[in-house]
């Protein structure tokens, strides 16, 4: 069945470091892929998305490319800030029905 696997956290980085959070998926067909971000005390909000293979989603300096060959959608940012400290979730729509499959979430801490 459909699934999402993302790297376990927490990830701790210094400000201005490079960030990669790995996400791989299993799905029937080629669904849209999403990254959500959850700041402390808040609900999830969409960070970026890609709707087809080779698409690159980007927002707030974050990027992720939909890789069909490696079934991956890794999240990257060239220079993280303290304000990027949050939990990041990779997600895809369940192709068998009306649900979204979320990864377990990766907590990011950025130190000044």
Q: Which residues bind other proteins (CB under 8 A)?
A: 31-32, 34, 36, 41-46, 49, 89, 91, 93-94, 97-100, 102-105
Identify the DSSP state of 70: T
- Token couple for 14: 């210094």
- Residue 41 or 69: which CB sits closer to other proteins? 41
- Residue 23 or 103: which CB sits closer to other proteins? 103
Residue 105: CB minimum distance to other proteins, A: 5
- Residue 19 or 90: which CB sits closer to other proteins? 90
In our burial notation (b when 16+ CB lie closer than 10 A, e otherwise), range 33-56 reads bbbbbbeeeeebeebbbbeeeeee
3-class DSSP assignment, residue 62: strand
Residue 98: CB minimum distance to other proteins, A: 4
């Amino acid at each position: 069945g459909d699934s999402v696997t993302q790297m376990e956290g927490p990830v701790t980085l210094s400000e201005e470091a490079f960030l990669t959070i790995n996400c791989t998926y299993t799905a029937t067909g080629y669904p849209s892929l999403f990254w959500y971000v959850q700041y402390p005390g808040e609900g999830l909000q969409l960070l970026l998305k890609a709707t087809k293979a080779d698409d690159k989603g980007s927002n707030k300096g974050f990027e992720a490319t939909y890789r069909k060959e490696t079934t991956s959608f890794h999240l990257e940012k060239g220079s993280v800030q303290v304000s990027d400290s949050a939990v990041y979730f990779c997600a895809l729509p369940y192709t068998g029905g009306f649900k979204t499959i979320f990864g377990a979430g990766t907590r990011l801490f950025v130190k000044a």
